[in-house]
Amino acid sequence: MPIQALEQGQIVEGQVDGETVIIARSRGEVFAVGGVCTHCSGPLAKGIVIGQTVRCPWHHACFSLRTGEDLGAPAFDPVSCWNTELRGDRIYMTGKMKPATRQAANAAQDGGPENIVIVVRGAAGFAEAEIARARCGSSPRCFMRAGWRMSCNNASRNGMGRKL
């Protein structure tokens, strides 16, 4: 693909060995990752590029363009990722990377939280708990209340979406 055909922040969709892939350009770099969100199979080609991440248009799951790592709920699995290379004025995908893994950190050493309260249920709550456990090691205790019913839209409208 010619580099001139891909503007900053633009996403182009294609197929590699039967797998949907998106190619995105951000901050002068070109990235190639799986084009299907791991939450509900949303089309990442219709998402938006923010920095070195892509957000799903359906539920705003966030993935690293550099590694494919799932960075934000409700996704809880990474997308595939390919190495890219610029040869002259053309973009080439030069091989699939190993699947992304979260880097576990020690919460106590890093001054991270001992307890985390997650106020969402379903896939979003599960994804946030998995991300917290992976990033903070085994030390955080996640508290979730399974029977509480609230839609995401109501939570946002009632002010629960703002930072405290």
Pairing of strands 53-55, 48-50: antiparallel
pLDDT of residue 1: 86
Rounded Cα–Cα distance for residues 61 and 64 (Å): 10
User: What is the arithmetic mean of pLDDT over 127-133?
Assistant: 72
Residues near 59 by beta carbon (within 8 Å), at least 6 away in sequence: 37, 39, 40, 42, 74, 124
pLDDT of residue 149: 47
Q: Please, are residues 90 and 99 in contact by the beta-carbon 8 Å criterion?
A: no
Q: How far is CA 100 from CA 33, 63, 82, in A?
A: 11, 10, 11
Local structure of residue 35 (DSSP, 8 states): S
User: What is the arithmetic mean of pLDDT over 100-118?
Assistant: 58
Token pair 């993935």 is found at: 63
pLDDT in tens, 54-101: 999 999 999 999 999 999 888 878 999 999 999 999 999 999 998 876
Rounded Cα–Cα distance for residues 151 and 71 (Å): 22
Where does the chain hold its CATH 2.102.10.10 domain(s)?
3-96
In this model, does residue 144 exceed pLDDT 90?
no
Alpha carbon 101 to chain centroid, angstroms: 12
Pairing of strands 53-55, 62-64: antiparallel
Fold of 3-96: Rieske Iron-sulfur Protein (2.102.10)
pLDDT of residue 104: 47
- With H, G, I as helix, E, B as strand and everything else as coil, classify residue 125: helix
pLDDT of residue 105: 44
How far is the first Cα of the chain from the last one, in angstroms, to the nearest whole number? 46
pLDDT in tens, 9-45: 999 999 999 999 999 999 989 999 999 999 999 999 9
User: What is the arithmetic mean of pLDDT over 107-117?
Assistant: 59
Report cis status (omega within 30 of 0) of the bond before 74: yes
Pairing of strands 115-117, 141-143: parallel
Give 103's pLDDT tier (boundaries 50, 70, 90): low
Rounded Cα–Cα distance for residues 147 and 86 (Å): 52
